[in-house]
Each structure stands twice: as structure tokens, then as C-alpha cells.
Amino acid sequence: MKYDFFIENLGKRLIKSPINISNFTKDKKRLLFNSYSDDYLSLIDKKGQPLSVELAGPRDKIFFNPLQTKAAIVTCGGLCPGINDVIRSITTALFYNYNVKNIVGVKYGLRGLNSVYGHKLMKLSPETVKDITSIGGSILSTSRGPQDTAVIVNSLARLNINILFCIGGDGSIRAAEEITAEVNKRNLKIAIVCIPKTIDNDLNLIQKSFGFDTAIEKAAEAIKSAHVEAKGAFNGIGLIKIMGRHSGHIAAHAALAQNDTNFVLIPEVPFDLKGENGFLTILKNRMKSRGHAVILVAEGAGQHLLRKKNLPMEKDPSGNIRLLDIGLFLKNSIEEYFKELNMEINLKYIEPSYLIRSVPANASDGIYCNSLGQYAVHAGMAGKTGLLVALMKDEYVHLPLNTVSSNRKIDPQDDIWLRVLETTGQPPLMKNY
């Protein structure tokens, strides 16, 4: 893929920054991309120079006059640990670092910018956000599904919003890209800055998504519980379904964090259910040799086993294909299989996904969220637009919205999956060929 990391600016920065520091970040200070690629030309920019990314950070001159600036924050998509931490960080950075006092929160996602729903804006200040990091979810609430881009931009203009901070995942980033295009088309001076949010950690180019560390920590607790249940009964089986629509990052890392898992099933590694090398046969052999098992399955795994050919796939309001329930399918399949063998088992099914999504961020994610919010504010006040703030190679950078999508998957030949196989002892493939 040929990347273009050019970052748009609303205009010249003529206002001296109110931040009292000496080490401001210059636009010319960049991070070399240096991705591994067989295509050398993909690592060269339009000027024939090595591909590089703009570093995030405060600029010595800013575009917006703080006393005349109105900023809005919106949260979109599913819940994730750390959203409130980002809201708090954006609010306090605007208020204390830049003396921006006019800060509002948009309720219920982008639909909050459609007047037909009648949602009122929420006034934000350091006082209103001071305690929100101790609770999960989003104090602004959220929603899924597309909204009319023209209507959103009409509202931004009518409300005199200068900077829109959008906290959301792949779908929200695409929506922000459309909003940026409409703003540019109308020649409006509104900055659109995103903070990427996906608990699945599947956005390409981004080192880590916020909430991921918390998700692993809580998933590891579920594995501990499943292991206790499995060991506590004759032929006990603990089955856990975890998040991971298209990628198994949470499942893989949780298994590495808590070594009691015996099988990890992820979307990137197809498996057969029956047959000599199928999952059920291998599980039976495990039960005969060890007398217990812990199974961790990502929600997007094994969808080929559930779908009937030629049937249309339903989609949710965000446009994602509705996943069929692999957890309950495996539970029923395992119970039926061992019943046919006349082999007693005691299976406990655990589904902690919504508990994990709704908890407050842990310390690691709290630090990360705080940094993302601060760097997003620096970008917005500098008049940079159509970008998201991200961590890349341990540096905070600006990425154009159109370079990021949720297609980062686990490579079955890569180090992470090989370590999972070593930890669990499961076969590399459970396929009959």
C-alpha cells in the first residue's frame, strides 16, 4: 500500500501559544515510517524522500484564538475502558493549557449533532469531569449508525464549533473523514481531530489502542475463574467467549498473560469442528489425558461453521456484519459431542465481554488516554484537521484519517501466535487435511 501522510492545516498559525515551554514541536520534526515491505517504492514519498510521519505535540504558534474558541467532544461506537479518561484529558488540556473555556460534550454520538433528536449539549469544565475516570463507559453516552454528513456540518456551523474531537473506531473515523471533506468543501475553519478507539486493537499503523491493556487484564481474570471451575469438577471444561470481531488480539494476549488457557480460537486461524484433526477430537484427547480444559474463543472465530451457504449476511447499524454466536454454538456442540461418546463432562460457559467493556481504565490505560487527549488538543489548537492522534514506535504522531482502518490481524506465522501455541500446547491447525 502506498501511504500519504500529509496533514491538512486550516491556515497559517499566527497566535503565540499560551503554553510556557521552550521545547515546542516543529512540523519538520518527523518519525521515519520504516515499515517492512517488499515494495521499496511504498516507503518513498512524492518527493523521493523516505516515508515519514508528522510528530504530535504543542506548536509555538497556534491557529485558534483561545478566548474565541469553542470545542466539542463526541464519543461514538461501542463502549471501551478509558473513554472518560480521554474526555477528561481533552477538557483539562483545553481549559488549563490553552485557556479555552467554551467546551461542550455531544450526547449520544453523532446523532447528538442532528437537531431532529433533540439532544442538548453538555457543558464541560474541569469541575464536571474531575471524577469521571473512576467510572466506566462514557459520560456523553454513545450510539452507532450513520448520520447525514451535511446535517452534522450544518450543526457545527450553527453552534459555532471550531474544533470537533471525535473518539471512535473504524466507522467513526470514516464518518470523521466525510465530515472533514464536507467542511473543506464549504471552506469552513473547523478542525476535525480523532482519538482512535477500538478495544479489539485491530487498527492498522497504530501501536496500541486505548482500553486494550484493561481488556487483557479483565480477560485474564475470566481465565482464572474458568480454570478454577474446570479444576473444581470431574472432567471440567471452562469456555470463555471474548471480544474480537475480526482479530484475536485480546484472546491471544490474554492467554499469554494468564497461562491456564489450553485452547485459543481466533478469526485468523480457521478450524474444523469434527473429524480426526478437528477441535472436538483434540478436546476429547485433552480431557482423557488431563481431566480438564480451558477454552478461550474470540467472538469472530469459527463463523464459517455457523453460516449457511447462500444466506444473506445481516449488518448492524454501523455496517458491520452481524456475528453469529460462536460461544453458545461451541457450548452446545461440545455437550452434544461428549453425550454421544457417553463421556461425562461439566462445562461452565463464561461471557465477560460487556463487563470488560464497561469497567474503568487501569493505570496503564489511564496514562495512555491522558496523553492521547493532550496531544489531540495540541493538534486541534494548531489548526490541524482530518487527522487522528496515535502511538507509533513509542512516539505520538498525526495520521491522516484515510490511512487508518480496522484490518490489523494476527499473522498465524508471526511471533505472537507461535507464543500462544507454545503456551497452550494446542496444535497449530485443527483442520482435516
C-alpha 193/C-alpha 351 separation (Å) is 34
C-alpha 196/C-alpha 194 separation (Å) is 6
Indicate the SS3 state at residue 265: strand
Query: What are the φ/ψ torsions at residue 195 (nearest 5 degrees)?
Result: -120, 115
Does the CA dihedral 356-359-362-365 come out positive or negative? positive
384: β partners: 9
Question: How many residues are listed for the chain in this entry?
Answer: 433
For the record, the C-alpha cell of 325 comes out as 454466536
Q: Angle 249-257/415-424 helices, nearest 10 degrees?
A: 50
Identify residue 242 by its one-letter amino acid code. Answer: I
390: β partners: 397
Give, rounded to a whole angstrom, the gap between the first and last alpha carbons of the chain.
33
Element (H, E) at 399: strand 395-400
Which of 292, 201, 210, 207 lies closest to 251, judged by CA? Answer: 201
| C-alpha dist (Å) from residue 36 to 53, 117, 320, 402, 413 | 15, 47, 30, 20, 15
Q: For 329-366, b where at least 16 C-beta lie within 10 A, e where not — what string?
A: bbbebbeebbeeeeeebebbbbbbbeebbebbbbebbb
C-alpha 275/C-alpha 320 separation (Å) is 32
The number of beta carbons lying within 10 Å of the beta carbon of residue 219 is: 25
For the record, the C-alpha cell of 275 comes out as 473429524
Q: Catalytic residue positions?
A: 200
Question: 3-state SS of the chain: helix, strand, coil percent to 5?
Answer: 35, 20, 45
The number of beta carbons lying within 10 Å of the beta carbon of residue 225 is: 16
